């Protein structure tokens, strides 16, 4: 996992020589192990490296004939690509085979890649720049029109830091963020910066886009006819292969372990595939009544023979580090799980672990959310569309104006995914895969881990696993009130110690309690911040913060405003200090 950026300019256009340097500096945290540069005519590629595979000869850009490539992520099937296509590679890097395949096959080369990736390549002979992103959107990539052509980068903040784009907000995306906690589609919250979409390949010639194509993440078609026993055998093979591929690394690796089914499945498979004990990291919360999964995680770790490391996160830790945590979320997702993810990544790096396997994607692939079960029911039996109401629709008139059009992106995605005879359940899953997964969960994972130079890998988000699970009959995914049925059945057979049919506890960060304890000081402080003052009523914000512990909806809305205040201060106002927000530092010492 690394950082990449670059320019693709029109003939005759010239870049400021300081721009590549500024891009590299802004992405240095993503690649603390090295940096590389490539320039040819109006094309520049910048790379910062986190060395994971081929530590000796894997520096980038990689060059093959007239073509050069920079990549962020991992191509897990690189050994198979070399063997099956008889590629004469000069390095052992997982990122060299894609460059050979491009030269042989053109833009369709991405269909052969199995992994998480954002990549940029320049072929001087073909006069093309190609940008590509993996089908699930595990690795980020952003594109902007700039003076003279196009610029791209792993993070929007790099384009802003290099002076290529101004940090101007899109009001529609701001409303999405406040209501949904993430933003949807190709356009980001910043005017002029768009996402290269999950699975998208963008071909550029002479500084302009000339071709786009998409590679789907999920298989097409309705639920297939398959029995439980056959489904379990197929699932075991797919999960085993995926975890084995995701463990390919030349540096130490571990995993994040909660008390839930997703990470338990990864733990069971890692224990099966490794001779040494698995390194597992778990977070808990120091707050009265907080959901604490440490005991269940510890029991699973003991059963698997894992080396288990736990951290306890308290209010003082949060107030001390929250500005830095929010600062890393330049493409904003107000998901309170950024808090434990950031602390776990820091602990893993302190322990000498540079790669962690994570359970993201399990709920989406196996139908684990309550909204999936609700989507299966017709409206007269309580069924409802996912995210029919936003966060501020549930707390009264806190905002100056009711957000309009905040659900347009979700509605567009609903129309796009509900095709091909898919069941209601498949449609709800596909909707989450289209936007929630890449723009919330995976953005959170990428930014919080890269802030500490740690690579996060997601074995559930693999083409083989998706092929084995997504088209299973609905009853093999959902039974009564239990989601992820087939995964639970697999665990009952292969790792019963994790109690796969125990009631789902849920992973809830006690942010409402922490906010409520300091509401008298936090409420007015947040309300006075320029970003919040523009959209919310001061007196209503103070009242909302006072209700944060008594009402789950109020707590979530207060958290969204606190997140937005800190995010706006850093990424729109451009202030790296916390002056005016020094109350957070003061709270940490109480």
Euclidean distance between CA atoms 576 and 26, whole angstroms: 13
Tell whether 335 is in a known binding site: no
Q: Is the pLDDT of residue 51 over 80?
A: yes
Active site residue 2: yes
**What is the predicted pLDDT for the residue at 377?**
79
pLDDT tens profile 112-132: 999 999 999 999 999 999 999
Q: Residue 177 falls within a domain, yes or no?
A: yes
Range of the domain at 8: 2-214
pLDDT tens profile 310-357: 999 999 999 999 999 999 999 999 999 999 999 999 999 999 999 999
169 and 248 assigned to the same domain = no
Final residue of a domain: which of 443, 472, 498?
498
CA distances from 435 to 217, 228, 345, 416, 547 (A): 12, 30, 24, 12, 30
Task: Indicate the range of 4-8, 193-197, 289-293, 294-298 predicted with least confidence.
Answer: 289-293
61 and 126 assigned to the same domain = yes
454 and 574 assigned to the same domain = no
Q: Residue 356 falls within a domain, yes or no?
A: yes
Euclidean distance between CA atoms 125 and 195, whole angstroms: 27
Task: Indicate the range of 71-75, 239-243, 317-321, 381-385 predicted with least confidence.
Answer: 381-385
**HEC readout, 410-426:** HHHHHHHHCCCCCCHHH
Euclidean distance between CA atoms 262 and 247, whole angstroms: 17
Task: Indicate the range of 28-32, 195-199, 323-327, 502-506 predicted with least confidence.
Answer: 502-506
Euclidean distance between CA atoms 93 and 342, whole angstroms: 28
Q: Is the pLDDT of residue 549 over 90?
A: no
Supply 267's token pair.
């733990």
Supply 52's token pair.
């994971």
Q: Is the pLDDT of residue 590 over 70?
A: no
**What is the predicted pLDDT for the residue at 381?**
56
Which is it for strands 62-64 and 208-214: parallel, antiparallel or unpaired? unpaired
91 and 172 assigned to the same domain = yes
| Catalytic one of 2, 70, 328, 358 | 2
pLDDT tens profile 407-445: 999 999 988 887 778 999 999 999 999 999 999 999 999
Task: Report, as an integer, the average pLDDT of 164-169.
Answer: 97
Residue 479: strand pairing partners: 482
Q: Is the pLDDT of residue 148 over 90?
A: yes
Confirm if 137 and 115 have CB atoms less than 8 A apart.
no
84 and 121 assigned to the same domain = yes
**What is the predicted pLDDT for the residue at 517?**
92
Q: Residue 424 falls within a domain, yes or no?
A: yes
Q: Is the pLDDT of residue 587 over 60?
A: no
Q: Is the pLDDT of residue 580 over 60?
A: no
Mutual orientation of helices 552-571 and 171-180 as an angle, nearest 10°? Answer: 140
* Predicted TM-score (pTM) of this structure: 0.96
Final residue of a domain: which of 185, 214, 243?
214
**What is the predicted pLDDT for the residue at 55?**
83
| Helices and strands, number each (H, E), in the chain | 23, 17
202 and 80 assigned to the same domain = yes
301 and 158 assigned to the same domain = no
Task: Report, as an integer, the average pLDDT of 53-75.
Answer: 92
- How many domains are there within the chain? 3
Mean pLDDT of the chain: 93
Residue 289: strand pairing partners: none
| Sign of the torsion angle spanned by Cα atoms 542, 547, 551, 556 | positive
Supply 442's token pair.
């995976």
Euclidean distance between CA atoms 226 and 259, whole angstroms: 30
Cβ neighbours of residue 21 closer than 8 Å, sequence gap 6 or more: none
- Which CATH number goes with the domain that contains 263? 3.40.50.620
The beta-strand segments (E) located in 474-516 are: none
Task: Judge residue 509's burial from the number of C-beta atoms within 10 Å of its C-beta, 0-12 exposed, 13-18 middle, 19 or more buried.
Answer: buried
pLDDT confidence band for 379 (50 / 70 / 90): low
Q: Is the pLDDT of residue 589 over 60?
A: no
């Amino acid at each position: 996992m690394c950082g990449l950026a670059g320019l693709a300019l029109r003939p005759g256009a010239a870049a400021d020589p300081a721009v590549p340097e500024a891009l590299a500096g802004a992405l240095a945290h993503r690649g603390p192990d090295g940096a590389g540069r490539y320039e040819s005519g109006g094309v520049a590629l910048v790379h910062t490296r986190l060395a994971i595979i081929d530590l000796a000869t894997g520096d980038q850009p990689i060059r093959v004939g007239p073509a050069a490539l920079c990549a962020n992520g991992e191509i897990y099937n690189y050994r198979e690509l070399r063997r099956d296509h008889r590629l004469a590679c000069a390095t052992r890097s997982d990122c060299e085979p894609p460059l050979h395949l491009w030269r042989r096959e053109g833009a369709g080369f991405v269909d052969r890649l199995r992994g998480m990736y954002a990549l940029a390549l320049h072929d001087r002979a073909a006069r093309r720049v190609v940008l590509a992103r993996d089908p699930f959107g595990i690795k980020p990539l952003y594109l902007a029109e700039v003076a003279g052509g196009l610029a791209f980068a792993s993070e929007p903040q790099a384009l802003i830091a290099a002076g290529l784009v101004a940090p101007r907000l899109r009001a529609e995306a701001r409303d999405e963020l406040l209501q949904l906690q993430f933003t949807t589609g190709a356009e980001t919250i910043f005017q002029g910066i768009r996402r290269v979409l999950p699975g998208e390949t963008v071909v550029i010639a002479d500084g302009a886009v000339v071709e786009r194509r998409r590679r789907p993440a999920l298989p097409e078609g309705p639920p297939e006819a398959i029995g439980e026993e056959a489904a379990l055998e197929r699932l075991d093979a797919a999960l085993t292969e995926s975890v084995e591929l995701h463990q390919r690394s030349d540096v130490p690796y571990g995993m994040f372990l909660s008390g839930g089914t997703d990470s338990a499945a990864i733990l069971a498979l890692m224990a099966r595939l490794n001779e040494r004990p698995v390194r597992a990291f778990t977070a808990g919360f120091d707050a009265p009544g907080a959901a604490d999964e440490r005991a269940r995680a510890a029991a699973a770790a003991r059963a698997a023979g894992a080396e288990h490391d736990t951290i306890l996160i308290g209010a003082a830790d949060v107030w001390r580090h929250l500005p830095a945590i929010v600062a890393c979320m330049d493409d904003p997702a107000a998901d309170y799980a950024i808090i434990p993810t950031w602390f776990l990544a820091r602990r893993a790096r302190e322990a000498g672990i540079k790669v962690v396997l994570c359970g993201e994607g399990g709920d989406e692939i196996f139908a684990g959310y309550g909204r999936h079960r609700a989507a299966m029911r017709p409206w007269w039996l309580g069924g409802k569309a996912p995210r029919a109401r936003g966060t501020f629709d549930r707390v009264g008139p806190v905002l100056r104006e009711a957000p309009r059009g905040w659900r347009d992106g979700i509605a567009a995605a609903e129309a796009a995914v509900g095709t091909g005879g898919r069941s209601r359940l498949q449609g709800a899953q596909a909707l989450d895969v289209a936007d929630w997964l890449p723009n919330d969960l995976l953005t959170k994972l990428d930014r919080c881990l890269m802030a500490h130079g740690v690579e996060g890998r997601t074995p559930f988000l693999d083409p083989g696993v998706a092929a084995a699970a997504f088209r299973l009959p609905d009853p093999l995914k959902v039974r009564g009130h239990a989601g992820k049925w087939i995964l639970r059945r697999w665990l009952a057979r292969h790792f019963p110690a994790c109690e796969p049919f125990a009631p789902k506890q849920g992973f809830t960060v006690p942010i409402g309690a922490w906010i409520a304890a300091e509401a008298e000081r936090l409420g007015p402080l947040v309300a006075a911040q320029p970003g919040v003052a523009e959209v919310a009523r001061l007196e209503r914000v103070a009242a909302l913060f006072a209700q944060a512990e008594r009402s789950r909806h109020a707590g979530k809305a207060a958290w969204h405003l606190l997140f937005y205040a800190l995010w706006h201060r850093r990424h729109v106002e451009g202030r790296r200090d916390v002056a005016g927000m020094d109350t957070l530092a003061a709270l940490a010492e109480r």
